[in-house]
Each structure stands twice: as C-alpha cells, then as structure tokens.
Structure 1
Amino acid sequence: MSFAVCQRPRNAAATRGAILDAASKRFTGESYDQVGMRDIAKDVGVDPALISRYFGSKEDLFRAVIDDCGSGTNMMEGDRATFGARMAQDLVYGPRKEGKWAWLLIMLRSSSSPKALEVIQKSAREGFYQPFVEWVGGEDAAVRVRLMSGFMMGLSVSRDLAHGLELTPEQCEVLRERIAVILQGLIDG
C-alpha cells in the first residue's frame, strides 16, 4: 500500500504578500543596507531564491515595498475645482494614515544608501510627482506641486505627531478654510 505525502497547498499570491509584508517590516525597522534577502526569507520561511523569483533583485523588492505604501494619487481623483476643499477636509479631520508613516520611515532609514535613494526618488517621481504635475498642468505646475506637497506633508506629519491639532472646533474650521484657499490657489495657478 502506498501513501501520498501531504503537502501544504501552494498559494503564490499569499506567499508574495507574506514576502512583501516581511520586507516592509524589515525596511521600516532597518536601513536598506542592513536588510538582507536571507533575513526576509527566514522571516517568511521560504528559500531566498523564491524572493528573487517573485520580485527580482533587492532593489526591485524595495521598490515594491515603497509602492505598496501608497502613492497619493487618490488626491487626483475628483474635480480640480474642489481639490483645496477636499484636501483641507482630510488634513484637518481625516484619519491617521499608517501607510504614510511606513513610507516616511523607510525613506528616512534608507536614504543614506545611494541604491535605495535612487529607488526612492524614482518611485516618488514616477508614482506621484509626474502624475500630479500632469494633473495640475499649466505654468509652473512642478513648482506648485512641490509647494503643495511640502505644505500638505508638513501639516499631516505635525498633526499625526501631536495626535491631533490641539485646536478648538472653531479653530479647526478656520484652519480648514485657510488650507482650502491656499491649496486651491496653488491648483488654479
């Protein structure tokens, strides 16, 4: 009588997701140069060659982790005429975005590595700045996008670090209104 060996069913999507999750945790907690493919493979319980099969190089895996944090392109969904009001509402009353913090930690920890910095810059340029500049359009769109991005990131980070704005409801409304005017002015050129 022969018996079949029972094996765990393979699920490529789940394995790929587990690798991406483990890599994200590693890159969030350590710099690019400190993270090894073998470490990530060990965290997931797979052979390092499988990571290469799914993602290619360490740089490609790093890019996948950054891209998985979100691009911010959802800001471009909706009418340009309401951009300032939508973003102001989110900046004042929106929830904390964990993906933003992961991306920021990864960027800060790994930007000292020339390879990682190149990946970060390329991802930001292709996944956010270029599409945003094209969406904004017009004269000095790149300058206006940089201003908006810095302004919104600064407000968002300071709000999240302080666990709120520490303003009265009336002050929050004034802030929301002023942010809307500033951002819409930058959109409209």
Structure 2
Amino acid sequence: MSGTPAPARTRNAAATRQAILDAAISRFSREGYDGASLREIASDARVDAALVSRCFGSKEELFVEVLNCGPDASELFQGELATFGERVADRLMDDPDTQDGLDQLLIMLRSASSPAAAGPLRRSMRSWFLAPFAAYLGGPEAEVRARLAGDLIMGVAISRAITPDHDLDEAGRASLRKRLAGVIQTAVEP
C-alpha cells in the first residue's frame, strides 16, 4: 500500500447539469409536470436528488429550465414576411429533426392540466415564441396574428408527429404544403 492518495474523481458540472436536463426532458415529456418527480429525474440522471435541488432549486425551476431548452424559434422570424408561410410550411413538411420540438410539445400537452405548471408554461410560451413572433410581425393585431399562426403551426406539428407523411402520396403532400403555406400566410398578414 503506497502513501499516495487515490486521484480525485473528476467532476464535470456542465455534463452533470446536462444529464439532469436530459432526464427531466424525458420524464416531463412522458409523464407531464405532475407525474414526474425530482427523485425519479435524479435517478435517471444517476445523481443524488439533493444535487438536482442544488443545481436547479425547485421542481418548478427545473421545469422552467426545461421549457427554456426548447428549439430556437428565432430562425422563423428572419426573412421577409411575404414568404413566411412558405418557409414555415417547408419546415413543417420537411424538417428531419423534429424530436426536440416533439418533446417540447409533449411536455406542454402533458403538463397543460397542471395548475402548478400553468404559469410557467404560459410565461415560457410568451417569452420564447409569442412575444418575438408578434415583434417580428409588427403592425395591427400582431399578438392576435402571432397566436393564430402559432396555433396552426402547433396543430400541424402534432399531426406530423402522428403521421409523418400526413397519409398522403407525393402529389397530396405537395398540395398540402401549398395550402398550408397559404393558410399560414393569411394568418400573419395584417
């Protein structure tokens, strides 16, 4: 036995934090706010529940952080308003990387009935999507137009999660894309 101490275990705070967030995203998307517990999230992340509390505070604060990890919608709000409907229809129909968005939708849907989650959900949706969208749109009734287009986008995203090809052949998908672009464009126009 040598007198040399064993090397200290390396800790990577960023990796641990990300593991907790990944576990929380998974739990909240499967079980909603009320169904997920900090203890289960900690177990999934292979950390102590006290560490989750130290890193994020309360379950509500972790939930808010998870909501803030959603896909960046800001790229939708770049470019000419006149082509907005086409850009969004293309993304909704063709974007191969939909898992992050689907996880966020599931978290919102499965947590929507929770009184504890209602406030954070509302604030998050407003800050990361509706307010920037309304600012991009500008003009009269920008918030109403942003809400209408956002609701249409969310509905199509849910539909695509259920049937990725929309149960249509190539010609049908092309027609759907064209009509969807028109409907979304109409929703955002002043």
Give the TM-score normalised by structure 1.
0.89
Which residue in the other structure is 2:184 paired with? 183
The 5 A counterparts of 1:98-177 are 98-177=99-178
Output one character per residue of 1:24-69: Cα deviation in whole Å (capped at 9) or x when no partner: 1221222323322222222223232322222122111011112213
Q: Secondary structure at the match of 1:30?
A: helix
Unmatched 5+ residue regions in structure 2? none
Distance in 1 of aligned mates of 2:37 and 2:46: 14
The 5 A counterparts of 1:1-189 are 1-95=2-96, 97-189=98-190
Distance in 2 of aligned mates of 1:2 and 1:128: 59
Distance in 1 of aligned mates of 2:108 and 2:15: 26
Unmatched 5+ residue regions in structure 1? none
Match of 1:91, as an amino acid?
Answer: L
Identity of paired residues, percent? 42
Task: Tell me which moved more, 116-125 or 160-169.
Answer: 160-169
Q: CA deviation at 1:115?
A: 1.4
Output one character per residue of 1:136-171: Cα deviation in whole Å (capped at 9) or x when no partner: 111111111121112222222223312312323233
Distance in 2 of aligned mates of 1:93 and 1:39: 35
Aligned pairs, how many? 189
Do the aligned residues in 1 keep the contact of 2:39 with 2:49 (CA within 8 Å)?
yes
Distance in 2 of aligned mates of 1:39 and 1:180: 42
Q: CA deviation at 1:76?
A: 0.9
Distance in 2 of aligned mates of 1:154 and 1:67: 21
Distance in 1 of aligned mates of 2:95 and 2:71: 16
Output one character per residue of 1:124-143: Cα deviation in whole Å (capped at 9) or x when no partner: 01111111111111111111
Output one character per residue of 1:65-86: Cα deviation in whole Å (capped at 9) or x when no partner: 1221325232113332321111
Do the aligned residues in 2 keep the contact of 1:96 with 1:160 (CA within 8 Å)?
no
Match of 1:30, as an amino acid?
Answer: E
Do the aligned residues in 1 keep the contact of 2:165 with 2:173 (CA within 8 Å)?
no
Give the TM-score normalised by structure 2.
0.88
User: Residues 160 and 26 from structure 1, CA distance in 2 versus in 1: closer, same or farther, beyond 3 angstroms?
Assistant: closer
Q: CA deviation at 1:16?
A: 0.4
Distance in 2 of aligned mates of 1:88 and 1:41: 39
Distance in 2 of aligned mates of 1:47 and 1:91: 39
User: Residues 158 and 41 from structure 1, CA distance in 2 versus in 1: closer, same or farther, beyond 3 angstroms?
Assistant: closer
